[in-house]
Amino acid sequence: MPLTIVRNDITKLTVDAIVNAANTQLRMGGGVCGAIFSAAGAQELQNACDKLSPIQTGEAVITKGFGLSAKYIVHAAGPIYQGGHNEEYLLRSCYRNSLELAKEYECESIAFPIISSGIYGYPKAEALSVATSEIGMWLSENDMDVFLVVFDKATFEIMQDLHNDIKSFIDENYVDKKDKIFGRERRDIESTQLSYYEVKESANLSDTTAFLSEADIFAPEAFKRIKWDRSLQEAQPTASLIDINKQLDEPFSSMLLQLIDAKGKTDVEIYKRANLDRKLFSKIRTGKGYMPSKKTAVALAIALELSLSETRDLLERAGFALSRSMLFDVIIEYFISRKRYDIFEINNVLFEYDQPLLGG
């Protein structure tokens, strides 16, 4: 899982390195800095920092983790926000220099706070955008498990314009347990199905018209191929299992590899853009009949920059669909319909709405 946003106490994570949002003098401060010093052993850590200080804004140095479960602490000096005068460059330098230092020390995992978003006054939404953007660019050429840690929701914000636009889209498209089917109010599809007579009455169907129950309407296409006898007592399969097997669509993994070739991309480009681990992608490529989780399938569709119809087709190969009754799906539809394929931006929004994150 290359980049994952988590809500946790950074001092309690089991990773190779954690990043301290430090001051240039590397002195124990408040907030995240103070918590790290306290958990590591304030005096021991201060003695080690004194040998490395001072540093410049944007620079990073490394010490042992002392009392932490992490082997190392990377100390990065973030900028004080002064209205946008070169602060973004310095903040990006914090992340990039920290990652390069962790790589030099052969770390396989690292956890960051959202640097400068506390008492240094960097607007939280902008600080988050810089963090995910710079980490994402670094991961496009390197391998490491990176965690972006927020202690609580108050430390996490997405851009207001994006938030407002998504909220409007959700309000217009998200169906919370109710919908309209043939002009009628949709019931909970997990507990109720429309009867034949309800459907016929609402849709003005003739007696000879084949129809599907509400649950079947929202099921993957492979499960819709049923017909009803005139007695309406039970559904009969349209063909034998052997016949159905012959008609199965191309499996997910085969379709995925064809799409990668058609887009002129490499495997590495796609699994990195999908925020996927190399080992997981290897399973997809080599595992016969491999079926991904829904969030993995969506991540790959995002990486391939598929249209909404192409995404639905790829998901169907794995037995999934996009539904207006699932908030996760509505958010995904928002980004794909607007051709915004930055998986880290999408994950920021999914995290904001407490939805599963893509990749991993």
Query: Residues 209-240, buried b or exposed e (16+ Cβ, 10 A)?
Result: eebbbbebbbeeeeeeeeebeeeeeeeeeeee
The residue count of the chain comes to 360
The token pair that represents 280 in the structure block: 């997981």
> Which residues have a Cβ under 8 Å from the Cβ of 346 and sit 6 or more positions away?
302, 331, 332, 335, 340, 358
Residue 288 is predicted with a pLDDT of 67
Instruction: Report yes or no: 294 and 318 within 8 Å, Cβ to Cβ.
Output: yes
Residue 1 is predicted with a pLDDT of 60
Domain at 252-352: CATH architecture:
Orthogonal Bundle (1.10)
CA angle 312, 313, 317 (to 5 degrees): 115
pLDDT in tens, 175-197: 875 444 444 344 333 333 443 33
Sign of the Cα torsion 273, 274, 280, 281 reads negative
252-352 shares the fold of 3-157? no
| The model's pTM | 0.76
The token pair that represents 78 in the structure block: 């973030």
Q: Look at residue 224 and give its three-state secondary structure.
A: coil
Token pair 């008609």 is found at 247
CA separation for the pair 192, 188 (Å, rounded): 6
CA separation for the pair 99, 95 (Å, rounded): 6
Instruction: Report yes or no: 28 and 50 within 8 Å, Cβ to Cβ.
Output: no
Residue 4 is predicted with a pLDDT of 94
The CATH number fitting domain 3-157, selected from 3.20.20.30, 3.40.220.10, 3.40.640.10, 3.40.190.10: 3.40.220.10
Token pair 């799906």 is found at 329
| Percent of the chain that is helix, strand, coil (3-state, to 5) | 45, 10, 45
Residue 289 DSSP code: T
Question: Could you tell me the residue ranges of all domains in the chain?
Answer: 3-157, 180-246, 252-352
Q: Look at residue 287 and give its three-state secondary structure.
A: coil
Q: Look at residue 3 and give its three-state secondary structure.
A: strand
The token pair that represents 104 in the structure block: 């030099």
In 3D space, the residue among 120, 135, 12 whose CA is nearest the CA of residue 69 turns out to be: 12
CA separation for the pair 224, 263 (Å, rounded): 31
Q: What is the pLDDT along the chain (360 residues), one digit of tens a residue?
A: 689 999 999 999 999 999 999 999 999 988 889 999 999 999 999 999 999 999 999 999 999 999 999 999 999 999 999 987 899 999 999 999 999 999 999 999 999 999 999 899 999 999 999 999 999 999 999 999 999 999 777 778 888 889 899 999 999 999 875 444 444 344 333 333 443 334 334 444 444 334 344 444 444 444 344 333 434 344 444 444 444 344 445 788 888 989 999 999 999 999 999 999 888 888 887 766 778 899 999 999 999 999 999 999 999 999 999 999 999 999 999 999 999 999 999 999 999 999 999 986
Residue 354 is predicted with a pLDDT of 92
pLDDT in tens, 321-338: 999 999 999 999 999 999
Residue 131 is predicted with a pLDDT of 96
Q: Look at residue 167 and give its three-state secondary structure.
A: helix
Token pair 């990039």 is found at 96
